[in-house]
């Protein structure tokens, strides 16, 4: 079949994406350079101060905090997700499919509802605290909510599956004979893991960290429900500019900053690790 | 010569014996403990949500007894009922349109070598690597600048945009593994290109298309961020209602809503697993998604 025949298939979806994704980003750039007018709208112009505001000492900590929380989230997800993926892939036996399916099951409960369930569990008079105080570990309830720990915990809870699945997939794809070979070459279990298994699953690890880090940076639900103003992330700040503060240019500038930062991050991260195909 | 050199190693008796002996790391107790703790972490909140949706008392701390009162309260509330319907409607329309657009795009991209194909590949990558809030803000400013009032329609448009990429990725994976031989065979047998697509390619793609559709429905039905940025005053989809409920005082009805949404999503997944079996196919949509498809 000719190329011209197939090319026609690209246009409906391609044009849709062009109009509803690329054009809006262009509009967001224009708005970020405009300024608020007295009618509650935006006058286009060339005002770069909104980008200056984003890096202002008042707001820069919010950006740094978002990146920090997201990085911590990705690290924790990797730390606890890898052993789980490894355990299921190597020792899950016939129940592998069920076990990996169960990992995804919590995703069927709405993100807001399951994050809120943590509020009920972690509140001062919540279940976790009643267990802690009843067992006499501490006499006073531990404050979990409104701490960075709670926000990062909520993010880990929200995105852990995105780490486990790609790692599991790369472990599945790996030939188990390689591990046997490593042992036959007198590698200790530890050596075999670091020299054989880990390099083989690196694509999964890379995909997982990107898949967790990206949405975590832009998340605002976890910080909104489990944290407080001291733990607000860039997502909360953006959301406020559009609903409440009505400062669209600043909100748009923050969004563009976030996008450029993440684009650069993905590009550099994948280039540094030499795996551009990891996302595809 | 080399065979002779290898033989002593192969025949080495102590090594064969060692292979049969149980080794400590074959009983990975620590690994299973970690896995168990992670599962507990994942399921604790789900358990709380489902359990307390049946609580007869208002409390979110103590379970007093079984009752359906929060479900009754949900169905007695006209706004919430309307929201459930709206969410289902949004997910259904999004699924149909995004599946059609994503599948045609995937067909074009994997079979055409033109520059348009490479460009579309780049376009597809953007939604996959941007956080949802960026998509939400872009959709919001687009509709504002075009003067389109926010409504269910704007939510659907935003959801479709985001979902095309997912459909395309899933279907392209399948197309890549299929190869073009069967299409070429159809052409050799006198089919027109369109007939070849309709009678040969699409039927072979069916499990992947179903898997993609299921994924889109569940994601759209559950979506909060995009809906939040593109919703009008009324009717609003369920997750947006949940958000306002969480901000303005909380009632255990939230748990009933969460459980109901779980049931809807689970039903859709069951459908994606069950439908191909009913129609006599060996592989389900879920098998395609998890990469366990047979080919």
Q: What is the pLDDT of residues A132-184, one digit of tens each?
A: 888 877 778 888 888 999 999 999 999 999 999 999 999 988 888 888 888 88
Residue B59 counted as domain residue: yes
| pLDDT for position B191 | 85
Q: How does strand A35-36 pair with strand A42-43?
A: antiparallel
Query: Can you give the pTM of this predicted structure?
Result: 0.86
Separation in Å, CA of B279 to nearest CA in chain A: 22
Residue B120 counted as domain residue: yes
Residue B11 counted as domain residue: no
Greater confidence (A196 vs B97) lies with B97
Residues B155 and B103 reside in one and the same domain: yes
Rg over alpha carbons for chain A, rounded to the nearest Å, is 23
| pLDDT for position B295 | 39
Residues B59 and B99 reside in one and the same domain: no
pLDDT exceeding 90 applies to what percent of chain B? 36
Tell whether B123 lies on the interface with A, counting CB pairs under 8 A: yes
B45 to chain A: nearest residue by CA? Answer: A117
Please say if the pLDDT value at position A278 is more than 70.
no
Greater confidence (B92 vs B169) lies with B92
Round to whole Å and give the CA distance between A163 and A212.
6
| pLDDT for position B209 | 92
Please say if the pLDDT value at position A1 is more than 70.
no
DSSP secondary structure string, A89-116? HHH-GGGHHHHHHHHHGGGGS-HHHHHH
Residue A12 counted as domain residue: no
| pLDDT for position B7 | 41
Report chain A residues whose CB lies below 8 A from the CB of B246. Answer: 112, 116, 225
Residues B181 and B264 reside in one and the same domain: yes
Tell whether A255 lies on the interface with B, counting CB pairs under 8 A: yes
DSSP bridge partners of B55: B66
What is the per-residue pLDDT across A211-234, written as a single tens digit (0 to 9) for each?
999 999 999 899 988 988 888 899
Tell whether A126 lies on the interface with B, counting CB pairs under 8 A: yes
Greater confidence (A274 vs B104) lies with B104
Q: Give the range of the structural domain holding residue B40, as residue numbers without chain letter.
A: 26-67
Identify whether B235 is preceded by a cis peptide bond (ω within 30 of 0).
Answer: yes
| pLDDT for position A38 | 63
| pLDDT for position B21 | 45
**Arithmetic mean of pLDDT, B180-206:** 86
Strands, E assignment, chain A: 35-36, 42-43
Round to whole Å and give the CA distance between B58 and B70.
9
Report chain B residues whose CB lies below 8 A from the CB of A87. Answer: 28, 31-32, 34-35
Mean pLDDT of chain A: 86
Single residue among B67, B99, B116 that ends a domain in this structure: B67
Single residue among B46, B67, B88 that ends a domain in this structure: B67
Residue A240 counted as domain residue: yes
DSSP secondary structure string, B23-89? -GGGS-HHHHHHHHHHHHHHHHHHHHHHHHHTBSSS-SS----B--HHHHHHHH-HHHHHHHHHHHH
Instruction: Kindly indicate the confidence band of residue B24, based on its pLDDT and cuts at 50, 70 and 90.
Output: very low
Q: Give the range of the structural domain holding residue A68, as residue numbers without chain letter.
A: 60-279
Please say if the pLDDT value at position B2 is more than 90.
no
Residues B238 and B174 reside in one and the same domain: yes
Please say if the pLDDT value at position A274 is more than 80.
no
| pLDDT for position B22 | 44
**Arithmetic mean of pLDDT, A244-250:** 86
User: Which two three-digit tokens encode residue B112?
Assistant: 């055409």
Residue B243 counted as domain residue: yes
Please say if the pLDDT value at position B156 is more than 90.
yes
Round to whole Å and give the CA distance between B256 and B74.
7
Residues B244 and B265 reside in one and the same domain: yes
What is the per-residue pLDDT across A4-49, written as a single tens digit (0 to 9) for each?
888 888 889 999 999 998 899 999 999 999 887 766 677 777 777 8
pLDDT exceeding 70 applies to what percent of chain A? 96
Strands, E assignment, B50-188: none
Which residues 79-118 in chain B show a CB within 8 A of chain A? 101-102, 104-105, 107-109, 111-114, 116-117
User: Which two three-digit tokens encode residue B251?
Assistant: 């009632």
Residue A17 counted as domain residue: no
Residue B136 counted as domain residue: yes
Instruction: Kindly indicate the confidence band of residue B6, based on its pLDDT and cuts at 50, 70 and 90.
Output: very low
| pLDDT for position B288 | 66
Rg over alpha carbons for chain B, rounded to the nearest Å, is 26
Residue B9 counted as domain residue: no
Domain total for chain B? Answer: 2
Please say if the pLDDT value at position B15 is more than 70.
no
Round to whole Å and give the CA distance between B244 and B167.
31
Instruction: Kindly indicate the confidence band of residue B179, based on its pLDDT and cuts at 50, 70 and 90.
Output: confident
**Arithmetic mean of pLDDT, B25-37:** 80
Residues B127 and B257 reside in one and the same domain: yes
| CATH number where A149 lies | 1.10.3720.10
Greater confidence (A29 vs A190) lies with A29
| pLDDT for position A58 | 80
| CATH number where B269 lies | 1.10.3720.10
| pLDDT for position B183 | 84
Q: Identify the weakest region by mean pLDDT among A61-65, B66-70, B245-249, B253-257.
A: B245-249
Mean pLDDT of chain B: 83
Residue A42 counted as domain residue: no
Which residues 167-226 in chain A show a CB within 8 A of chain B? 169, 172, 184, 189, 210, 214-215, 217-221, 225
Which residues 226-285 in chain B show a CB within 8 A of chain A? 228-229, 238-239, 242-243, 246, 250, 254-255, 257-259, 261-262, 265-266, 269
B41 to chain A: nearest residue by CA? Answer: A157
Instruction: Kindly indicate the confidence band of residue B289, based on its pLDDT and cuts at 50, 70 and 90.
Output: low
Residue A107 counted as domain residue: yes
Residues B50 and B97 reside in one and the same domain: no
Residues B87 and B117 reside in one and the same domain: yes
Tell whether A158 lies on the interface with B, counting CB pairs under 8 A: no
Residues B102 and B218 reside in one and the same domain: yes
The answer to whether B164 contacts A17, with C-beta atoms less than 8 Å apart, is yes
Please say if the pLDDT value at position B3 is more than 60.
no
Please say if the pLDDT value at position B45 is more than 90.
no
Please say if the pLDDT value at position A206 is more than 70.
yes
Residue A34 counted as domain residue: no
| CB contact at 8 A, B220 and B159 | yes
| pLDDT for position B217 | 94
Domain total for chain A? Answer: 1
Which residues 190-219 in chain B show a CB within 8 A of chain A? 193, 196, 218
Residues B151 and B248 reside in one and the same domain: yes
Residue A16 counted as domain residue: no
| pLDDT for position B282 | 63
- Short-list A258, A209, A253, A204, CA closest to A66: A258
């Amino acid at each position: 079949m000719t190329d011209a025949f197939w090319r026609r298939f690209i246009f409906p979806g391609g044009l849709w994406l062009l109009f509803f994704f690329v054009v809006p980003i262009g509009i967001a750039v224009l708005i970020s350079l405009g300024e608020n007018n007295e009618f509650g709208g935006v006058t286009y112009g060339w005002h770069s101060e909104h980008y200056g505001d984003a890096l202002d000492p008042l707001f820069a900590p919010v950006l740094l905090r978002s990146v920090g929380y997201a990085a911590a989230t990705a690290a924790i997800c990797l730390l606890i997700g890898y052993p789980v993926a490894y355990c299921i892939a190597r020792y899950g036996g016939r129940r592998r499919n069920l076990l990996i399916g169960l990992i995804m099951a919590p995703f069927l409960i709405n993100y807001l509802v399951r994050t809120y369930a943590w509020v009920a569990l972690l509140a001062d008079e919540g279940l976790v605290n009643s267990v802690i105080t009843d067992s006499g570990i501490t006499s006073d309830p531990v404050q979990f909510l409104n701490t960075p720990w709670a926000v990062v915990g909520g993010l880990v809870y929200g995105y852990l599956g995105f780490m486990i699945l790609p790692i599991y997939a790369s472990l599945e794809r790996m030939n188990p004979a390689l591990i046997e070979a490593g042992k036959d070459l007198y590698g200790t279990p530890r050596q075999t893991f670091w020299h054989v298994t880990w390099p083989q699953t690196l694509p999964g690890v890379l995909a997982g960290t990107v898949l967790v880090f990206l949405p975590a940076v832009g998340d605002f639900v976890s910080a909104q429900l489990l944290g407080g103003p001291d733990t607000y992330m860039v997502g909360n700040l953006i959301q406020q500019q559009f609903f409440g503060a009505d400062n669209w240019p600043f909100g748009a500038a923050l969004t563009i900053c976030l996008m450029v930062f993440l684009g650069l991050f993905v590009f550099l991260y994948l280039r540094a690790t030499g795996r551009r195909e990891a996302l595809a | 010569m080399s065979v002779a050199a290898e033989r002593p190693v192969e025949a080495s008796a102590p090594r064969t014996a060692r292979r049969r002996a149980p080794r400590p790391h074959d009983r990975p107790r620590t690994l299973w403990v970690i896995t168990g703790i992670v599962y507990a972490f994942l399921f604790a909140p789900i358990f709380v949500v489902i359990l307390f949706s049946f609580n007869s008392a208002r409390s979110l701390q103590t379970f007093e007894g079984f009752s359906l009162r929060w479900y009754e309260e949900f169905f007695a509330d006209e706004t919430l009922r309307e929201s459930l319907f709206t969410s289902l409607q949004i997910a259904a329309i999004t699924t149909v349109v995004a599946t059609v657009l994503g599948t045609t795009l995937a067909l074009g991209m994997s079979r055409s070598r033109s520059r348009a194909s490479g460009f579309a590949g780049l376009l597809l990558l953007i939604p996959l690597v941007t956080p949802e809030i960026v998509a939400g803000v872009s959709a919001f400013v687009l509709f504002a600048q075009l003067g389109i009032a926010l409504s269910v329609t704007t939510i659907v448009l935003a959801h479709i945009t985001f979902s095309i990429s997912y459909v395309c990725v899933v279907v392209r994976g399948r197309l890549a593994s299929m190869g073009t031989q069967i299409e070429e065979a159809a052409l050799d047998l006198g089919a027109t290109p369109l007939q070849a697509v309709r009678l040969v390619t699409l039927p072979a793609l069916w499990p992947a298309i179903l898997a993609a559709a299921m994924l889109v429905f569940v994601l759209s039905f559950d979506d909060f961020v995009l809906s939040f940025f593109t919703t009008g005053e009324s009717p609003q989809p369920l997750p947006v209602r949940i958000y306002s409920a969480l901000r303005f005082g909380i009632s255990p009805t939230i748990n009933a809503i969460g459980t109901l949404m779980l049931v809807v999503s689970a039903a859709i997944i069951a459908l994606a697993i069950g439908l191909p079996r009913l129609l006599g196919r060996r592989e389900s949509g879920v098998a395609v998604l998890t990469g366990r498809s047979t080919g």
